[in-house]
Amino acid sequence: MIIDNKILDNLTAQAKASPRLRMNMDLRNSAEDQSQRMLNAIEPGSPLPIHRHQKTSETVVCLRGRLVWEFYDELERICTERIELSPNGPIVALNVPQGQWHTVKALESGSVIIECKDGPYEPQSPVDVLTL
């Protein structure tokens, strides 16, 4: 598969039309593929809870736009670090460690990342969402 601007534009249009203001595109080879690889278009204002992944780290690469990752401390429930990603900025990718509380916010319309995690998809459970 070739990932070009036409694919990113289409995914962004779907994100803008979605009530969640985000849309992903599965990049796995088949449903039996035991990984998570996807494009994720995220628009400003998309509600993404502070969450963690207990069984996997998460690698993200910013293909276009600007986004900020916020990292949180579980005990104090405060933001401890903010990292901005953009394809032309000083930071284009990051790896979120397994178990790290985090969220992401799009700073520009048309922002798209490629996201990779180990193992099959598992829905978030209430213990993996941090409320402030």
Strand order in the sheet with 67-73: 78-85, 67-73, 101-106, 50-51, 129-130
115 phi/psi in degrees, rounded to 5: -125, 135
91 to 6, 16, 60, 111, 112: CA distances (angstroms)? 24, 25, 11, 15, 15
The Cα–Cα gap between 115 and 7 comes to: 16
Distance from C-alpha of 23 to C-alpha of 73, rounded to nearest angstrom: 28
Residue 107 has φ and ψ, to the nearest 5°, of -100, -15
Enumerate domains of the chain plus CATH numbers: 5-118 (2.60.120.10)
- pLDDT at position 31: 75
Distance from C-alpha of 45 to C-alpha of 123, rounded to nearest angstrom = 22
pLDDT at 132 over 90: no
pLDDT in tens, 41-94: 999 999 999 999 999 999 999 999 999 999 999 899 999 999 999 999 999 999
63-68-69-74 Cα dihedral, nearest 10 degrees: -170
Reply yes or no on whether the pLDDT at 127 is more than 80.
yes
Of residues 56, 109, 102, the one with CA closest to residue 83: 102
Residue 21 or 132, more confident: 21
Q: What is d(CA 111, CA 86) in angstroms, rounded to the nearest whole number?
A: 9
The more confidently predicted of residues 117 and 34 is 117
